[in-house]
A and B are shown apart, each in its own frame.
Chain A
Amino acid sequence: MEPLDERKDQIHRTGEQPFTLVCNKDSLAGAVSQRACVFCGSRVVLYPIADALHLVHGPIGCAVYTWDIRGALSSGPELHRLSFSTDLQELDVVFGGEKKLTAALLELIERHGPKAAFVYATCIVGIIGDDVEAVCREVEKKSGIPVIPVQSEGFKGNKRAGYTAACNAMARLIGTGDTEAITPHSINILGDFNLAGEIWMIREYFERMGVEVVANITGDGRVADISRAHGAALNVVQCSGSTMDLARMMERDYTIPSIRVSYFGVEDMAQALYDVAEFFEDAPEILERAKDIVKGELQELLPELAFYKEELSGKKAAIYVGGTFKAFSLVKAFRLLGMEVVMVGSQTGTEDEYRELAEITDPGTIIVDDTNPLELTSFLEEKRVDIFVGGVKERPIAYKLGVGFCDHNHERKEALAGFTGMLNFAREVHSSVMSPVWRFTPQRERLDAAEPQLLAVNN
């Protein structure tokens, strides 16, 4: 299947010179993009702040489709798991929704006692001209808690714009808390959302190294922690797009440097600990402890991984994720398992990131920006993939094609970060690739009939 003409320059094959790939543009109408919208970008970033009220200002859809959808765990309050909406009706659209928004905020703040409130503007709020900023100011005065507008009108850009809106919202909290007791060897964790408890593992590594974690941004996040995040010595940023803007703002306003890390896969996880340790060069014991942690974890992990590597070696994988940082780590993680990555893409990657992907992947690997179901289908068929890594929207595409699947999106319930996460990831991949069910799917039956030697290998 040929892609639409307007989409051809968003697809590259490694090895084909020179590298060119167009990205970071609006999705093509009618192309059935896998992307969401500005609101979605804001919502995913702020969602895990568990003691804040998250009120979606608009008709019901945006709130109801994001009710308790993430695997973002909290060690305490769980206000983030509720779905709040002003549920705008026709008359509100005609006469404006400000009054309803004010009343809803006051009602919910009284009922739930949140530490702060985020008010998400959806598409029509921008159109009907509600002054969300003014409402927030008024309610903040009345309630005594921070009430923060999130400029997340769905049509005002793509998911990346939503990340920026979320960072702008959090920037209003930062700088308001007391930083006195914070130690010099301290960090904020940015861009981990505590899916299936991942940030707890990461925090524990850092704490064992002797590094204080001031704020989780935003996994298992708390308003009070975020408000004193400007007291940390370093921002440790995961995820290519979602919280980088916040790190930049904090560098500008509080001269806090940042480093970029990934916690997926053995190499990247170890590197993240080393990079943080090396930043605190005045305390060499931190690096020593980091080395001990990595050594201890690997001693446990590698023998267990060996089994999976043997079983999975030579299998082919395709990756389609939200941001490219995860794609890089996944490419490395699959290599560690002896597997071959034949397609890799993301919803919101930048040209530099795609160029880097082209550099680290094998010749012939398809690199794609903002793709859609029909393109994915043709890539999976062409490459005869064994496992596809993506989110819920990609799952039925894989399954209909008789291809295994691993959910690596923000809805997953399996911890895939950290050293333990690498083992979980190997198990996840293994449990799908090695399942006996595929032999009954018509596609495999046909392919196996055409190539009996493949069947022998699979058995």
Chain B
Amino acid sequence: MSKNPRNYVATTNACKLCTPLGATLAFKGIEGAVPYLHGSQGCATYMRRYIISHFNEPIDIASSSLSEKHAVYGGGPNLKMGLLNVTEKYHPALIGIATTCLTETIGDDVAMFLKEYDQEVEGEKPLMVQVATPSYSGSHMEGFHDAVTSVVKTLASRKGSRNAEVNLLPGFVSPADIRYLKEILSDFQISATVLPDISDTLDGRAADVYEKIQSGGTPLDSISNMGNAQATVEFGHTMGSESGGRVLKDRFGVENFCLDMPMGISATDLFFDHLQRISGTQVPEKYLAERGRLVDSYVDGHKYLYGKKAIVYGEEDLVVGLCALLAEIGVMPMLCASGGKSGKLKERISAVSASLLPEPPHVFENMDFYDISELAEKMDPDLIVGNSKGYPLAKKLSIPLIRVGFPIHDRMGGQRILHLGYRGAQNLFDLVVNACIARKQEQSPVGYSYM
């Protein structure tokens, strides 16, 4: 069963965000880029507020600020004026333009407007990348992947002979994850283009001078060279038929390895195998040590976890990764839910967990938190793993919520949560096992201080 089991008409407390939000996040990971929403003013402001509350960073998203007459006569003039103003104030290297439900419905032809803009405007002109993100189609993850694909289609090229570089398309992961991935690639002596790279742009330092556009992000030169790379590694199996990795393969013959997010030991082993094969470099000792310590801690903590029942929700690829991790430490995911609806969630979860679990979890796509709560309450779960929005359920059931993914709106440091690789597994393992120990301790009338 992969459809919403209750099939309510209304969505209550959605477990997804709208398509253009994902596109703005992807654009935030490109050097010198300003995300731009072609729509009414509210979309940009709402999304800024939502994203700021997770990352605690300035998130400037420009808008066409369409009003009623533009909805009737078309938003072209406002789009062009907006692009001019953004250029004048921000001097961006790139403007990432995502549409909204309003401009998609009135049928604005953004590609044509951009062509006209190019002819009409003289002087400073940033690169323009546009992506169609009607919010009535897909969720923020489609918006994210489509924006990445659009960047690749617009900017990547092949010049001359193939080089030893590697493209890494990690999907929507945390700045801490991206930093760690870059460290791994560097330790493998792989010269890589990580697209997008939000490690600095969405987790910046306290700065001496206010940066209009936060420094960091994938350099445009690197993006344009992606067609020359020897291989692409792309995380996530639930995206649509088109992806950055597939475009690079089809257009420029770059070999594409599509992997699950490296969460837990098995998935990370597979990722490292690929890096080893691609680079010809043995897995560095540092990571063997990380892996060894991780296994050691799995053993140390296993008794607190075996048979514990978990509810898991979030973006589909994240849910697959979490499920893989939980299954290998003896926790049983009872319910795996997502607001996405790729049609692939159940199959991927089975692929990563079937050999580890006594029985398969219930897997449902197109879920909201009302559905999740209704099912979860019957499952007597021990813990919940997902973003902040599951807190009301955790509170209701008096069980711990392990906060992962996006958004984290009720704790500090969402941008610093490490999910990937051996080190990410270590972080999540410690969080999960300690939540279970803490609960046991709190529930004990004895008050053990030595568990």
What residues of chain A have their CB less than 8 Å away from a CB belonging to chain B?
4, 6, 26-40, 55, 58-68, 82-90, 92-93, 100, 103-104, 107-108, 122-124, 126-128, 154-158, 373-374, 377, 381, 391-393, 395-397, 399-402, 440-443, 446
Contacts and interface: CB of A to CB of B under 8 A. Distances in A.
Contact of B65 (A27, A391, A397): A27
A13 B82 CA distance: 27
Contacts of B306: none
Contacts of A124: 101-102, 105, 136
B50 A30 contact: no
Contacts of B292: none
Contacts of B9: 86, 100, 103-104, 107
Interface of B: 8-14, 16-18, 20-21, 36, 39-50, 52-53, 56-68, 70-71, 78-79, 81-86, 88-90, 100-102, 105-106, 134-137, 139, 204, 206-212, 370, 389, 392
Contacts, number: 226
Contact of B68 (A65, A89, A156): A156
B41 A93 contact: no
Contacts of B71: 123, 126-127, 155
A37 B42 contact: yes
Given A60-B18, A61-B46, 4 more contacts: A37-B42, A86-B11, A154-B41, A392-B49
The 3 closest A-B pairs by CB, nearest first: A37-B42, A61-B18, A30-B82
19 contacts: A4-B85, A29-B79, A30-B64, A30-B65, A31-B65, A36-B42, A61-B21, A61-B47, A64-B17, A83-B13, A107-B8, A123-B71, A124-B102, A127-B105, A156-B68, A373-B58, A377-B210, A391-B49, A395-B56
B210 A401 contact: yes
B68 A396 contact: no
A4 B136 contact: no
A383 to B, nearest CB: 14
A29 B206 CA distance: 29
Contact of B60 (A92, A103, A373, A402): A373
B77 to A, nearest CB: 9
B56 A84 contact: no
A114 to B, nearest CB: 13
A154 B14 contact: no
B45 A34 contact: yes
Contacts of A6: 85
A125 to B, nearest CB: 10
B44 A60 contact: no
B18 A381 contact: no
A124 B99 CA distance: 13
Contact of B101 (A59, A100, A156, A393): A59
A399 B135 contact: no
B206 A32 contact: no
A124 B43 CA distance: 13
Contact of A33 (B59, B63, B66): B63
Nearest to A380: B210
A59 B211 CA distance: 34
Contacts of B50: 65
B175 to A, nearest CB: 15
Residue among A60, A63, A68 with most chain B CB within 10 A: A60
A93 B211 CA distance: 40
Contact of B46 (A62, A92, A100, A104): A62
Contacts of A63: 11, 14
A64 B18 contact: yes
B83 to A, nearest CB: 6
Nearest to A104: B10
B58 A60 contact: no
A31 B85 contact: yes
| Secondary structure call for the B interface | mixed
B212 A29 contact: no
Contacts of A30: 36, 62-65, 81-86, 89
A36 B10 contact: no
Contacts of B211: 400
Contact of B206 (A34, A90, A93, A402): A402
Contacts of A446: 208
B136 A123 contact: no
A396 B139 CA distance: 27
Nearest to B95: A30
Nearest to B58: A396
Nearest to A377: B210
Contacts of B134: 59, 90, 93
B96 to A, nearest CB: 13
A381 B211 CA distance: 13
Contacts of A27: 41, 63, 65
B206 A441 contact: yes
Contacts of A100: 9
Nearest to B34: A32
B41 A33 contact: yes
Contacts of B204: 400
A282 B212 CA distance: 60
A377 B214 CA distance: 14
Nearest to A7: B85
Contacts of B100: 123
A33 B210 contact: no
A443 B210 CA distance: 9
Contacts of B86: 30, 32
A82 B45 contact: no
A123 B39 contact: yes
B206 A85 contact: no
B84 A400 contact: no
B199 to A, nearest CB: 17
Contacts of B389: 67
A158 B81 contact: no
Contacts of B89: 4, 30-31, 374
B44 A32 contact: yes
A29 B137 contact: no
B42 A38 contact: yes
Given A4-B89, A61-B18, A107-B10, A400 B64 contact: no
A156 B41 CA distance: 11
Contacts of B208: 442-443, 446
Contact of B78 (A29, A104, A442): A29
A55 B8 CA distance: 14
A108 B11 CA distance: 10
Nearest to B78: A29
Contact of A59 (B64, B81, B136, B207): B136
Given A37-B42, A37-B45, A154-B43, A58 B101 contact: yes
Contacts of A89: 136-137
B146 to A, nearest CB: 15
